[in-house]
Structure 1
Amino acid sequence: MSLPPADVEITDDLVGLLLAGQHPDLAHLPAARAATGWDNVVYRLGEEYAVRLPRRRSAAELLRHEIEHLPALAPNLPLPVPAVLRTGRPGYGYPYEWAVVPWFPGRSAALAEPAERDGYAAELGRFLAAMHAEAAGRAPTSVFRGTGLALRQAAVEHRLAEFGNGLFSPAASEGFGPGSVEVLRRIFADGLAADVHPGVPLWLHGDPHPHNVVFGPDGTLAAVVDFGDLTSGDPAGDLGMAWLHFTPAGRAEFRSAYDDAAGVAPEAADALWRRARGWGVHYALIAILQDPSEPLHGVGRHAVATLLGELA
């Protein structure tokens, strides 16, 4: 699964021109491309900043959600997040709004082993509990995150077929038995059968997988990043990422910390976590179908193995 094509070419020269023209006090800082993601190109700017530039039209709208909402949410969150510090306008042929955000030194948690990630299970659980506050009337919504699982069923079936036949990504199904597809389908179906989210829409990170969690230089959890999918809806959409992060022991710690901090009622917990596990199937398939050179491929293999192990 490769990155979608970009609408615009983002170069070092372009970034330099945008900074010089709109934020000249930052233009002297060294800028180096740090990442090319699904939606954005990220440049590290000096020691303290990063520049996020949408590489396609759909991402420009998502960045607008970050600009509008994340600065207000950030003070209530127990971990640092890249709340937008400055914004930039289109210019020099670049058609989209862009942003300057904090830079958090460290490494992606996707590069760590699951047992190492278990060390921040409770911390991430409490972070998401704080994130999952009641969403305001103007909060964004998404057809891809925080929805009822039924809206993801067609996508899951499509990816199950790709995973099972091995034609799209031969490395994805390597090492998994022939019955794996049916087990994953049963887990997703159980999530579908659970009671739907009973309350008001809550704020969601939208994409809190391990590649969006930063380990600091001292091994502590430094930040949660990339709020491009910031949205509102069913918290199970975020909680499904637990299967990508943790071992079963770590996930149990994550769940306990989340339920306690979020005040999840015992009568609602079973349905919430069944839906979350259904989302876990969805996310695991997206990750494992990435190119084997991508960190998320290994994250997906771990998640699929963990999900299958639950029904072994």
Structure 2
Amino acid sequence: MTASQDFLISDTDADLVRRLVDSQFPQYGHLPIEYAATGWDNVMFRIGSDLAARFPRREAALDPQRNEITWLGTVARPLTTGFPEIIHVAESTHSFPYPWTITRWVHGLRAMSVAPQDRTPAAFELGRQLALLHQPAPEGAPVNPYRGLPLSSREDVLLQRIKDAPELAELLPLWNAAIAAPPPAMPRTWCHGDIHPGNYVLGADHTLAALIDFGDLTSGDPAVDLGNAWASFDAQGRELFFASYLENCSPALAADPGLLPRARGWVIATTIAAVLTSDLSTPDFVRMARWAKAQLLDDMAG
């Protein structure tokens, strides 16, 4: 096994995970291990009822993992909702060539498993939590090469993806408006970087329980997180989401005239075009991207 290989642990590798956990954290040897979820960059197994082991699936996931290990405690400090606190960082070994982590298990329902119309109870609180998160980032904060930069940095990739999937051309007017929008009023805020229905958790009543997967956290344009509104909610949910965000964010962000156009640009680039042209996309992500596209087109028509 070499460090250049991708997808090193699959949903069927609970025995391997058992050995990896026991070798470095024998205190958890009495707890059962079972597969939990797979994302683009990581695979997760539950350890008992309150912990999880999270493994990078590919080398490209290592820099985001390092940022999460280094910065998550700082970024999550203002939040009043749950998040997957990192408890242990495991070393790479001959059995698995990358570092991996043990985190608190966040109890609840992955929002992606709920129909967009049924996520509305989470919309107001999700807007508030993102407003709390979008604080000025310090010098030395990470910069994600794909998230939170000027949208013009994504244009070449976006236009190529439209060539690969001509159906995306319907979104070009919104993309062009996003590119032409004023730049961020606060260009160095903390951003989650990858907010979408797969990365927040709902309680039994479908209210927000936690934000998860901070691997793409970055300093940059907070609009990158707000594009989630079209991936997550219907028109009613978006209205609640943005009302809450604008009520709770800083005055500079609330007065930013380019915030919403740039948010539309970010959901086009990082959710719709990226998912619909990726070989890694699962059916859940494809449904999410098609929902977001339909919501944007409805907004444009209305």
Q: What TM-score results when the alignment is normalised by the length of structure 1?
A: 0.87
Partner secondary structure for residue 146 of structure 2: coil
Structure 2 residue runs without a partner (length 5+): none
Contact 1:17 1:92 in 2 (8 A): no
| Structure 1 match to 2:175 | 188
* Residue 288 (structure 2) pairs with residue 299 (structure 1): yes
Counterpart amino acid of residue 249 in structure 1 = Q
State the shift of 1:288 in Å.
4.1
| Structure 2 match to 1:35 | 37
- Per-residue CA deviations over 1:100-138 (Å, capped at 9, x if unaligned) read 111123222112222211221110011111111111212
Identity of aligned residues (%): 37
| Structure 1 match to 2:265 | 278
Structure 2 CA distance, aligned partners of 1:8 and 1:160?
31
| Structure 2 match to 1:170 | none
Counterpart amino acid of residue 6 in structure 1 = D
Structure 2 CA distance, aligned partners of 1:191 and 1:78?
31
Contact 1:240 1:279 in 2 (8 A): yes
* Residue 240 (structure 2) pairs with residue 253 (structure 1): yes
Of 43-52 and 98-107, the range deviating more from structure 2? 98-107
Structure 2 CA distance, aligned partners of 1:121 and 1:141?
27
Contact 1:143 1:151 in 2 (8 A): no
Contact 1:80 1:223 in 2 (8 A): yes
Structure 1 residue runs without a partner (length 5+): 165-172, 174-180
Structure 1 CA distance, aligned partners of 2:25 and 2:16?
13
Alignment of 1:136-285 (within 5 A): 136-164=138-166, 181-265=168-252, 268-282=255-269, 283-285=271-273
Partner secondary structure for residue 43 of structure 2: strand
Structure 1 CA distance, aligned partners of 2:9 and 2:210?
29
Counterpart amino acid of residue 219 in structure 1 = H
- Per-residue CA deviations over 1:145-164 (Å, capped at 9, x if unaligned) read 00100011122112222332
Output the aligned Cα RMSD. 2.1
State the shift of 1:303 in Å.
0.9
Partner secondary structure for residue 274 of structure 2: helix
Q: What TM-score results when the alignment is normalised by the length of structure 2?
A: 0.90
| Structure 1 match to 2:8 | 8
Counterpart amino acid of residue 124 in structure 1 = L
Task: Pick from 59, 62, 68 the counterpart of residue 60 of structure 1.
Answer: 62
Task: Pick from 84, 89, 98 the counterpart of residue 86 of structure 2.
Answer: 84
State the shift of 1:287 in Å.
3.4
State the shift of 1:214 in Å.
1.1
Contact 1:66 1:83 in 2 (8 A): no
Structure 2 CA distance, aligned partners of 1:267 and 1:79?
22
| Structure 2 match to 1:168 | none
Partner secondary structure for residue 258 of structure 2: helix
Of 267-276 and 4-13, the range deviating more from structure 2? 4-13
Structure 1 CA distance, aligned partners of 2:253 and 2:221?
17
Partner secondary structure for residue 19 of structure 1: helix
Of 91-100 and 202-211, the range deviating more from structure 2? 91-100
Partner secondary structure for residue 117 of structure 1: helix
Structure 2 CA distance, aligned partners of 1:7 and 1:113?
29
| Structure 2 match to 1:44 | 46
Task: Pick from 284, 298, 301 the counterpart of residue 309 of structure 1.
Answer: 298
Structure 1 CA distance, aligned partners of 2:215 and 2:222?
17
Contact 1:18 1:92 in 2 (8 A): no
| Structure 2 match to 1:176 | none
For the structure 1 residues 195 and 223, does the alpha-carbon distance in structure 2 shift closer, same or farther, using more than 3 Å as the test?
Answer: same
Structure 2 CA distance, aligned partners of 1:198 and 1:220?
30
For the structure 1 residues 159 and 200, does the alpha-carbon distance in structure 2 shift closer, same or farther, using more than 3 Å as the test?
Answer: closer
- Per-residue CA deviations over 1:48-86 (Å, capped at 9, x if unaligned) read 000011121121221111111112333321210112111
Counterpart amino acid of residue 221 in structure 1 = L
For the structure 1 residues 266 and 38, does the alpha-carbon distance in structure 2 shift closer, same or farther, using more than 3 Å as the test?
Answer: closer
